Every structure is written in structure tokens, then in C-alpha cells.
């Protein structure tokens, strides 16, 4: 399963790589990273990717996670990827807006790894 | 010629009568004057009927003499004495004329014209005096009238002055009342200003707190997440590559792994602790975002009172406290965020029970811990109906130096690790910013602490 993680914090990359170490080794998961919304969009338009799941932060400089979500929903109406938004604790406004824009699920920071893995497992079974 | 003495006496009597009129002795003399007048009229009639005789003149002269003497001698007539000057010539002319007539008839007849002239002059003299007296009297009357008018005017002026005095007093009273009212308003304004400054300070402190929390959140998340991942990696390391090393090395490696694991769990523990604080701080930024619904504050207060009490009992079996509720059911529903109000109540109740339990530790024998909660409907200064919830405990009380810092974030009197100092500061934000209410505190150190929450009912 291809997962695109969008976050302006570069340290998210080693964190996720280490977190999914076993899955990556087994070839169950393939992680891609983008440092901004713009990066994420260009990555998606290269076409080669068949990203199933996008994990995106909301608060990013430039294109925000919400704008990215909006763009994805507009550009990929067919076979849309699942989008999971990562929101900061205690930010009900962004949560509501993400829901309105068509986010599939939410994660709150700090990330609960067990919950994240469980959600991904559910996608694998259902998808 | 008896007409002149008659008229003279009549004039004198009339004059005295006029002079005495109005005095206290007048009634006594009035009758005498009447009798005298009657006598002289009678005498004149007798003289006219019985043809004139020379000695008759002497009766008149005697009467005139007595009259003049009376005026000069009687004390009560002293004011009329100057009039004697008017009648004296007449008296002397009559006396001399009659004397000459009696002694030397021839001489009299020869000088008859002169005597007539003298009599004429005496009469003129008298008339002149009468005229002058009349004039004086008129002048006096006028003077009297003038004085009466002046008195009346003075009286009017006095009345007007009194009226003005009253008016001035009224005005002064009004001004004084206004001044007092203004002073009161100034004091109120000053109090409001201090309150506003305090509110502003607390609001900006709340914002600052939330801002700091927001900034710390991300780095802290990394710390927590990396520590967790590292712990997992250690497990993997232990289960995987490390299985293949020699037994002695394994033991050595295990020891280090154990320490590393412990360190990571410490990082996770304290990271979570910091995360808890950050979450508390972030509460400041979301005190007015919850959804408001009609809330039964009484039920909420009762529920959280019990919740707080049993929470403390679970930690400390020996703890006990009396609870008194006086909740007025007529306060009805309040538009509020139940969870937020619950958080405030739990905070205050927890503090109250903590305070009474601390006091019980100091005075185990004599002290009876108690917590009161009461509600009622009040009308605030600006006329809006409000619910007043009062929570009181007879615990340690709050020192005055602490009172003003009570709502500041991170201010706590509890030992390190037992309180973040965010409870009351968030409570304050929830009540004031989130619900447009008021939160007040009253306390006496060592005796009681009383929190009052006001929430608008409309």
C-alpha cells in the first residue's frame, strides 16, 4: 500500500520510516513524503503513483492541508485516495472544515501509533 | 367777648384729645374732656341767654387759666406743652383787657381799638399755630404712612429673602447630592477600571499561555513519538540481531538495553506529563468554542460535588467532609457548555476539599470539614437576571497576597507535581470569556474561602 505523508516537519520522515520498519521490510507498505502541499500535489500528478492513503498535516506554510485536500478532491474525482488529516489537539474548527471538505478520517497530535496502525490495517482489509 | 376763650379752651381740649388718643391713659381723660366741653358749651349758652356781665369774663379767664395750668402741670399732657405758646397771648390779652375794663372804664373805652387789635393779633397768633400744628400733623401722618409703606416693603423683602434662603438651601442640597452621587460614580469607575485592567491582564495571559502551548506542542510530540518508536526499536533489536551474539555479550547487552528502555520510558512519562500541561494550557484557547445548550446548573453542581468528594475519598480513605447544598430550583436553565461548567465546578470543589483536608491534617481533633454550595437568582447592577452559584469551604482560606494572583496561569500553592496552576485560570476564562459571566472570590486566611460564579440567565 502506498502512503503519502505530507508534513512540513522533516523529522516526520525518519519517525514514520522507523514506525513502519517491519511493514516496509515485508513490502506491505510503501512510504512517500512531501514537505508541503504543493510538493504533494506535484507528486500525485506524476501519475506513476498509485497512492492509496494520504496522511496530511493541516498547519503548513504555503498550501495548507485543507487546501491540499480541496485540490485532491477536485483533481481526482475518480478512484480518489483516502485522505486522513492530522490535526493539532483542541482545534475543532479545522476538524469541522476538514470534514466539510471530504476528509475520510482524523488523527490528533501527538500521534497514537497503535491507533494509526489499526486504521491502516482496517483500510487494507476493506480496500 | 366770650367767644375767644371758649374757642381757645375748645381748641386745647380737642388738641389734648388728639394727642392722647391711642395711649393707655386716654380712656380716663376722654370722659373728662367730654365733661369740660359740655361745661363750656353750657357756659356759653348761659352767657348768651343771660345778657353779658363783666364777671362772666372772669369765669372764662379762670377756666382758661385752669386749662393752661393743667396742660403745664399734668404729667400725662407733657407732650402737648408746646401748644401753650399758641394760647398764652390770648389768655394774657383777655386778662389785661378784663383787668383794665374793671379798673379803669374810661381808659379802656379810650384804648378800645388797641385792645381789639391785640385780641385780633392773639387770634391770628392762635390760628397761625393751629395752621402750623395742622401742617405738622399732616407731615407726621405722611411720615407715618411712609414708614408703614417702608415697613411693608421691608416685610416683602424679608419674605423674599427667606424664600431665596430656602431656595438656596434646596439648591445646595441638590448640588451636594449630585456631588455625592458623582463621587460614588467615580469610585465605581475606578473599581471597574481596576477590574478591567485585571481582566485584560488575565485575558492576555491566557492568550500567551495558549500561544506558548501551541508552539511547544509540535516539538513535544516529536519527543514523545521518537521515544515510543525507539522503545519499539529496542524490542526489535533484542528479539532480532541480538539473538545471535554470545551468551556473555548478551548479558552485557541486556543490561544496557534495560537501562535504555528505562530511560525511554522516563522520557515518555515526562513527555506525557508535559503534554498534559500543554493540553491544559491549550484549554485557554478553546474556552469559547464549545456548544451551548440549556443546562441545569443545580444538577451539575450536585453531580460534580459528589464526583469530587468521591474522587478524593478514593485517594484518601480517611478523608471525610460535610456537604451542604442549598440549590434553588427556581433558577431554571442556563445557556452553557455543560462540560466546561463541569470542569470549573470540579476545579473549585477539588480545591475546596483539598483545602479542608489540609486543615484536618493540622487540626485532627477539633476541626469539622464542611463544603457548602448554594444557588439563587439575582439581579445584577445593570439589571440583568443572573444565576449566582456560591461555593464555600471552611478550610485553610486564601492569603491576601495570593488572592490577586489566583487566576494567573501556572500560579499554584500546591507542592510540585500536584497542581499545574491552570485550573482556576482556565475556570476564570470559561466563566468570563466563554459564558459572559463573572467569577469572584472572598476569603479569610485560616477560616474560609468562597467562590461566587455569576452566569447570565437570559
Residue with cell 482545534: A91
Q: What is the model's pLDDT at position B420? A: 77
A90: contact with B, CB 8 A cutoff: yes
Share of chain A above pLDDT 90, in %: 11
A35/chain B closest Cα distance in angstroms: 15
The answer for A 60-89 residues in CB contact with B (under 8 A) is: 88-89
Q: Where are the alpha helices (DSSP H) in chain A?
A: 12-19, 21-26, 37-45, 65-75, 92-101, 113-126
CB contact under 8 Å between A109 and B224, yes or no, is no
* A119, part of any domain: no
DSSP A96-121: HHHHHHT--EEEESSP-HHHHHHHHH
Which of B147-151, B269-273, B288-292, B403-407 shows the lowest mean pLDDT across its residues? B288-292
* A57, part of any domain: yes
Q: What is the model's pLDDT at position B2? A: 66
Here the CATH number for the domain that contains residue A54 is: 3.40.50.2300
Query: Which residues, given as ranges, of chain A have pLDDT below 50?
Result: none
Chain B contact set for A21 (CB, 8 A): 233, 236
**How large is the C-alpha radius of gyration of chain B?**
60
Strands (E), B30-122: none
DSSP B327-378: E-GGG--EEE-HHHHHHHHHHHHHHHHHHHHHHHHH-TTT---EEEEEEEEE
Chain B contact set for A109 (CB, 8 A): 217-218, 221
Complex prediction ipTM: 0.80
A115: contact with B, CB 8 A cutoff: no
Chain A contact set for B286 (CB, 8 A): 90, 92
Q: Which residue of B has its CA nearest to A108?
A: B221
Cβ-nearest to A110 among B225, B232, B233: B225
A109/chain B closest Cα distance in angstroms: 7
Using DSSP's 3-state secondary structure scheme, residue B78 falls into helix
Residue bearing the bigger pLDDT, B271 or B408: B271
B33 within 8 A of B17, measured Cβ to Cβ = yes
Domain count across chain A: 1
* A118, part of any domain: no
Q: Please, which residues have CB within 8 angstroms of residue B387's CB and are 6 or more apart in sequence?
A: B297, B331, B334, B375, B376, B377, B378, B454, B455, B456, B457
Q: What is the model's pLDDT at position B356? A: 92
Cβ-nearest to A110 among B214, B224, B232: B224
A22: contact with B, CB 8 A cutoff: yes
* A122, part of any domain: no
Pick the CATH number of B288-456 from 3.30.420.280, 3.50.50.60, 3.40.50.10110, 3.30.565.10: 3.30.565.10
- For B394, phi then psi, to 5°, come to -100, 40
Residue bearing the bigger pLDDT, B408 or A48: B408
CB contact under 8 Å between A19 and B222, yes or no, is no
A36 within 8 A of A60, measured Cβ to Cβ = yes
Q: What is the model's pLDDT at position B387? A: 92
CB contact under 8 Å between B221 and A90, yes or no, is no
Q: What is the model's pLDDT at position B119? A: 83
**Residues B314, B318, B319, B323, CA torsion sign:** positive
Question: How far is it, in rounded angstroms, from Cα B430 to Cα B438?
Answer: 10
B56 within 8 A of B47, measured Cβ to Cβ = yes
Q: Which of B221, B234, B278 to mutate to test the interface with A (most CBs of A within 10 A)?
A: B221
CB contact under 8 Å between B286 and A22, yes or no, is no
Does pLDDT of B232 surpass 70?
Answer: yes
* A82, part of any domain: yes
Count of pairs with CB atoms under 8 A, one residue in A, one in B: 44
Element (H, E) at B265: helix B247-282
Strand partners, B336: B293
Does pLDDT of B417 surpass 80?
Answer: no
Residue bearing the bigger pLDDT, B401 or B263: B263
Q: What is the model's pLDDT at position A49? A: 63
pLDDT in tens, B161-176: 999 999 999 999 999 9
Residue bearing the bigger pLDDT, B409 or B324: B324
B427 within 8 A of B352, measured Cβ to Cβ = no
A20/chain B closest Cα distance in angstroms: 10
Residue bearing the bigger pLDDT, B365 or B393: B393
Chain B contact set for A110 (CB, 8 A): 220-221, 224-225, 275
Domain coverage including residue A45: 2-111
CB contact under 8 Å between B229 and A89, yes or no, is no
* A60, part of any domain: yes
CB contact under 8 Å between A89 and B217, yes or no, is yes
Which of A98-112, B383-397, B410-424, B426-440 shows the lowest mean pLDDT across its residues? B410-424
Q: What is the model's pLDDT at position B70? A: 84
Amino acid at each position: 500500500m502506498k502512503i503519502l505523508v505530507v508534513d512540513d516537519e522533516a523529522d516526520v520522515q525518519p519517525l514514520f520510516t522507523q514506525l513502519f520498519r517491519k511493514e516496509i521490510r515485508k513490502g506491505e507498505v510503501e512510504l512517500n513524503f512531501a514537505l508541503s502541499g504543493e510538493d504533494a500535489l506535484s507528486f500525485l500528478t506524476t501519475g506513476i503513483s498509485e497512492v492509496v492513503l494520504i496522511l496530511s498535516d493541516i498547519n503548513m506554510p504555503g498550501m495548507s492541508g485543507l487546501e491540499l485536500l480541496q485540490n485532491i478532491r477536485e483533481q481526482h474525482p475518480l478512484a480518489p485516495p483516502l485522505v486522513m488529516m492530522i490535526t493539532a489537539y483542541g482545534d475543532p474548527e479545522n476538524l469541522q472544515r476538514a470534514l466539510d471538505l471530504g476528509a475520510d478520517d482524523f488523527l490528533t497530535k501527538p500521534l497514537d501509533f497503535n491507533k494509526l496502525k489499526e486504521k491502516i490495517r482496517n483500510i487494507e482489509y476493506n480496500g | 367777648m366770650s367767644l375767644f376763650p371758649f374757642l381757645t379752651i375748645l381748641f386745647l381740649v380737642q388738641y389734648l384729645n388728639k394727642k392722647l388718643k391711642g395711649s393707655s391713659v386716654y380712656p380716663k381723660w376722654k370722659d373728662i374732656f367730654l365733661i369740660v366741653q359740655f361745661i363750656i358749651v353750657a357756659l356759653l349758652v348761659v352767657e348768651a341767654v343771660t345778657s353779658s356781665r363783666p364777671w362772666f369774663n372772669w369765669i372764662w379767664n379762670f377756666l382758661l387759666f385752669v386749662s393752661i395750668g393743667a396742660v403745664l402741670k399734668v404729667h400725662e399732657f407733657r407732650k402737648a406743652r408746646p401748644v401753650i405758646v399758641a394760647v398764652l397771648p390770648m389768655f394774657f390779652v383777655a386778662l389785661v383787657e378784663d383787668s383794665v375794663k374793671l379798673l379803669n372804664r374810661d381808659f379802656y373805652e379810650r384804648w378800645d381799638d388797641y385792645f381789639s387789635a391785640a385780641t385780633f393779633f392773639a387770634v391770628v397768633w392762635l390760628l397761625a399755630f393751629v395752621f402750623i400744628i395742622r401742617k405738622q400733623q399732616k407731615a407726621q401722618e405722611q411720615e407715618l404712612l411712609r414708614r408703614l409703606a417702608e415697613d411693608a416693603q421691608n416685610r416683602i423683602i424679608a419674605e423674599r429673602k427667606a424664600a431665596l434662603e430656602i431656595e438656596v438651601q434646596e439648591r445646595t442640597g441638590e448640588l451636594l447630592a449630585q456631588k455625592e452621587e458623582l463621587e460614588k460614580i467615580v469610585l465605581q469607575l475606578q473599581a471597574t477600571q481596576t477590574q478591567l485592567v485585571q481582566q485584560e491582564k488575565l485575558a492576555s495571559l491566557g492568550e500567551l499561555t495558549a500561544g506558548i502551548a501551541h508552539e511547544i506542542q509540535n516539538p513535544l510530540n516529536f519527543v514523545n513519538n521518537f521515544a515510543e518508536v525507539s522503545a519499539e526499536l529496542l524490542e526489535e533489536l533484542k528479539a532480532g540481531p541480538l539473538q545471535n551474539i554470545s551468551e556473555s555479550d548478551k548479558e552485557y547487552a541486556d543490561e544496557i538495553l534495560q537501562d535504555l528502555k528505562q530511560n525511554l520510558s522516563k522520557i515518555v512519562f515526562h513527555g506525557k506529563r508535559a503534554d498534559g500541561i500543554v493540553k491544559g494550557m491549550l484549554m485557554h484557547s478553546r474556552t469559547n468554542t464549545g456548544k451551548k445548550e440549556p443546562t441545569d446548573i443545580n444538577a451539575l453542581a450536585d453531580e460534580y460535588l459528589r464526583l469530587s468528594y468521591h474522587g478524593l475519598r478514593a485517594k484518601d480513605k480517611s478523608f471525610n467532609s460535610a456537604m451542604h447544598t442549598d440549590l434553588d430550583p427556581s433558577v431554571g436553565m442556563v445557556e452553557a457548555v455543560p462540560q466546561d461548567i463541569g470542569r470549573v465546578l470540579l476545579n473549585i470543589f477539588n480545591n475546596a476539599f483539598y483545602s479542608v483536608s489540609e486543615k484536618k491534617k493540622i487540626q485532627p481533633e477539633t476541626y469539622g470539614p464542611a463544603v457548602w454550595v448554594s444557588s439563587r437568582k439575582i439581579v445584577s447592577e445593570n439589571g440583568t437576571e443572573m444565576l449566582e452559584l456560591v461555593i464555600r469551604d471552611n478550610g485553610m482560606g486564601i492569603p491576601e497576597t495570593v488572592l490577586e494572583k489566583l487566576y494567573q496561569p501556572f500560579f499554584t500553592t500546591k507542592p510540585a507535581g500536584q497542581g499545574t496552576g491552570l485550573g482556576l485560570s482556565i475556570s476564570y476564562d470559561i466563566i468570563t470569556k466563554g459564558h459572559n459571566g463573572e467569577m469572584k472570590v472572598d476569603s479569610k486566611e485560616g477560616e474560609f474561602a468562597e467562590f461566587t460564579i455569576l452566569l447570565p440567565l437570559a
